Amino acid sequence: MNPEEATKAVAAAGEVSKAATVFIEKIADLVGGTFKPMQIRRVAKAAADARIIDALATQKISEIERRGLERLVVEAGRAQGNIEQITAKAADLIQEDAQSEVLESDWVADFFQKCGTVSDPEVQILWSKILAGQANTPGSFSKRSVTIVSTLDKADAHLFSKICSTGIDFGDGLRPLIFSDTDEALLKIGINHDSIMHLQDIGLLNFGAISNYFTRFQPLPNTRQHVRYFSQNYGLFVDTLPDWKLNFGKVRLTHSGKELAKISGATEQPEYFEHALTELRKTGIRIEHW
């Protein structure tokens, strides 16, 4: 089912919100009006079918060429199906205050080009979160982040999720709390030096081999800096120094890493997080759970 057909179906059934319907209509408009990737694939399929028939009738192509054309038709159909499945999944994630109407055609074209080969249902969910996230909050995901996701396999995605499970939200994005890449507590949750370096090669994070990463914050004495670990709230206190650099370890997410951390599917790791808080306290910071 294409986006236009999907729009009619959901409108008739009343199964999704008005915002989701607007989203589907916007995708259909971009597809049919500006760059037409889905239509182009359908036209290409029809043209390829016609060429096969005509060429066979006139014996102008070889058997190898015929098989090649048939392969292109099959690949185009498979890509079309993947795109429509991802779009349908994204529609379920559209918020009532989504801004689907400002989705950029270039971004959507690039997105569809890269997700057409994704058939794994679990990975399709990741792609649908990106598409819905961009519609809900335009600018949430850059083209570079989309490119990085196109290089990930399922194992990479699971590994990145584990990295994100170590982090605190400091107000400007997720900050992993990893103080040693050989830490026994880290190994217990499936992260080691090689896995960190692998994600660095992909472009999701940076690793400070020689020194740690710091962030500066300026709480007044006996006032707290609010941070979050999933749904839990913590206050970081500095008793004496008016200006403090928070040592948050050896791993820092890249810009794309911060964007993708929001949809990583990370889950809490209570035992590791308590270990990370112990390491933070060694830097002279008081931490309270509230």
**224: nearest Cα among 130, 158, 287:** 287
Count the neighbouring beta carbons within 10 Å of the beta carbon of residue 1: 13
Alpha-carbon gap, residue 70 to 50, rounded angstroms: 11
pTM for the model stands at 0.80
pLDDT at 237 over 70: yes
**Which of 193, 283, 183, 279 lies closest to 237 in space, CA to CA?**
283
Element (H, E) at 214: strand 213-217
Residue holding tokens 């400091």? 170
Question: Where exactly are the structural domains of the chain?
Answer: 3-148, 155-289
Mean pLDDT, the chain, whole residue set = 83
How does pLDDT run across 26-79, given as a tens digit for each residue?
A: 888 876 543 344 444 454 455 555 555 565 555 566 777 667 766 766 666 777
Structure tokens at 3: 């986006």
Using DSSP bridges, classify how beta strands 244-249 and 224-229 pair: parallel, antiparallel or unpaired.
unpaired
- Angstrom distance (rounded) from CA 241 to CA 205: 30
Closest C-alpha to 188, from 160, 166, 155, 211:
166
Alpha-carbon span 186 to 53, nearest angstrom? 60
SS3 for 61?
A: coil
Q: Which residues contact 165 (CB under 8 A, 6 or more apart)?
A: 189, 266, 267, 268, 269, 272
- Letter for the amino acid at 53? I
Cα 46 from Cα 189, distance rounded (Å)? 51
Q: How far apart are CA 104 and CA 145, in angstroms?
A: 16
pLDDT tens figures, 242-288? 556 777 889 999 999 999 999 999 999 999 999 999 998 887 788 89
